[in-house]
């Protein structure tokens, strides 16, 4: 090997911060000149920090600004204002050559894989190493290691056109890891894959995070991706981060409509149509209130409806529900109909047991 891997440690870089969060965006805005003279704001005063070794997911609808955000982290785009600090150096302030060196410690994978069709799997993985000036023998050795890591040792001489989507993304991951980066950026890496393949790619990323201690910053529009691999989440909407924190907390106690809308896509949260169509804003005498009960952590498996019936003599009419897992912790949602006269007592009973409640509406 004749190229320095830890180039960021070189004295040519100013250390700006102690490295506890490996990626930090401080007051970052990005404004594009609009086509008709009016500037378009893609990102507005974004503050985000990705702790070393964590998996942080940024979730947002298309056009929310998440692609712009991730491209700022490796300097593919430069912010209009603010600082983008990666491993202690301000990416936004680096001159082009230094930025190229810095990028070797920031891997990136893409929705459409972006592999060279003219190179075999092995040669695609070798490309970043060639670019970094490694010698032939070192490249051969490293490529073999990486192919082994992503489970494609037998596909070394295959061209991308001969590989499946999942295999292409594995090659993409191996290529991103070639120069031993400290951060991996994932730009909708599973959006073009079927659910099963998505699962296996997410498992691979989780394994890489655990075994190599690699920090992962990913953007996605899919709740399932965040749920299965992220530890922390930031919800982005119209260029702003509207909510951020521990995945479990954010998704079991969503504060923002957008966050709720991501959850609404999930099974068990949506109301069945026959209820949704009859939903009223105000109570009707003799009717029922529709209540969403959120179960978190240890309470997720409590027989709360049985207790409700026994202790309060209230019968809950189950309308929708699911028990699931977010970031490895159980959580559940139950949508029930409760007689209006028993509503107050029921809500008090549930809240006393640490459950989240929300009155969605009323039915006759």
Binding site for another protein (CB under 8 A): 74, 76, 100-104, 106-108, 110, 112, 114-119, 127-128, 130-132, 159-162, 175-176, 178-179, 185
Rounded CA Rg of the chain: 24
Instruction: Tell me how far, at minimum, the Cβ of 182 lies from another protein, in Å.
Output: 14
Q: Which helix or strand (DSSP H or E) is residue 149 part of?
A: helix 136-149
* Residue placing its CB nearer to another protein in the complex, 187 or 243: 187
Least CB distance to another protein at residue 131 (A): 5
CB nearer to another protein: give 25 or 314: 25
Q: How far is the CB of 106 from another protein (least distance, A)?
A: 8
* CB-count exposure of residue 313 (10 Å: 0-12, 13-18, 19+): exposed
Alpha carbon distance 89, 92 (integer Å): 9
Q: Kindly tell me which of 13 and 159 has the beta carbon lying closer to another protein.
A: 159
DSSP one-letter string for 52-115: TT-EEEEE--TTSSHHHHHHHHTTSS--SEEEEEETTEEGGG--HHHHHHHHTTEEEEETT---
**Sheet of strand 40-51, all strands in order from the earlier edge strand to the far edge:** 40-51, 21-32, 81-86, 89-90
Q: How far is the CB of 151 from another protein (least distance, A)?
A: 21
Report the residue number, 118 or 282, with the smaller CB distance to another protein: 118
3-state secondary structure 216-270: EEEEECCHHHHHHHCCEEEEEECCEEEEEEEHHHHHHCCCCHHHHHHHHCCCCCC
Minimum distance, C-beta of residue 127 to another protein, in the bound complex (Å): 7
Q: Least distance (Å) from another protein to the CB of residue 159?
A: 4
CB closer to another protein, 160 vs 254: 160
Cα–Cα distance, 299 to 287 (Å, whole number): 28
Nearer to another protein by C-beta: 147 or 271? 147
């Amino acid at each position: 090997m004749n190229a320095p891997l830890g180039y960021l440690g070189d004295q040519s870089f100013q250390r700006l911060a102690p490295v506890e969060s490996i990626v930090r965006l401080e007051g970052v805005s990005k404004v594009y000149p609009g086509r008709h003279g009016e500037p378009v704001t893609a990102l507005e005063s974004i503050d985000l920090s990705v702790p070393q070794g964590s998996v942080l997911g940024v979730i947002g609808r298309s056009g929310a600004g998440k692609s712009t955000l991730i491209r700022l982290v490796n300097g593919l785009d430069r912010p209009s204002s603010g600082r983008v600090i990666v491993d202690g150096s301000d990416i936004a302030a680096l001159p082009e050559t230094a930025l190229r060196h810095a990028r070797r410690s920031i891997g990136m994978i893409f929705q459409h894989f972006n592999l060279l069709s003219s190179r075999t799997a092995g040669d695609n993985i070798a490309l970043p190493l060639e670019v970094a000036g490694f010698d032939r023998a070192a490249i051969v050795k490293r490529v073999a290691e990486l192919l082994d890591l992503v489970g494609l040792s037998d596909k070394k001489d295959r061209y991308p056109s001969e590989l499946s989507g999942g295999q292409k993304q594995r090659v993409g991951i191996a290529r991103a890891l070639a120069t031993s980066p400290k951060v991996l950026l994932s730009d909708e890496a599973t959006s073009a894959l079927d659910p099963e393949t998505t699962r296996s790619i997410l498992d691979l990323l989780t394994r890489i995070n655990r075994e190599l201690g690699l920090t992962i910053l990913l953007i996605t529009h899919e709740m399932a991706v965040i749920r299965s691999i992220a530890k922390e989440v930031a919800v982005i909407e119209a260029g702003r981060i509207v909510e951020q924190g521990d995945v479990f907390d954010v998704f079991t106690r969503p504060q923002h409509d957008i966050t709720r809308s991501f959850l609404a896509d999930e099974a068990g949260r949506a109301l069945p149509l026959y209820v949704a169509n009859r939903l009223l804003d105000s109570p009707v005498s003799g009717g029922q209130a529709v209540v969403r009960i959120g179960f978190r952590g240890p309470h997720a498996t409590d027989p709360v409806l049985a207790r409700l019936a026994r202790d309060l003599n209230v019968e809950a009419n189950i309308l929708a529900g699911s028990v699931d897992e977010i970031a490895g912790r159980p959580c559940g949602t139950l949508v029930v109909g409760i007689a209006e006269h028993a509503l107050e007592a029921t809500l008090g009973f549930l809240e006393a047991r640490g459950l989240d409640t929300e009155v969605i509406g009323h039915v006759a």
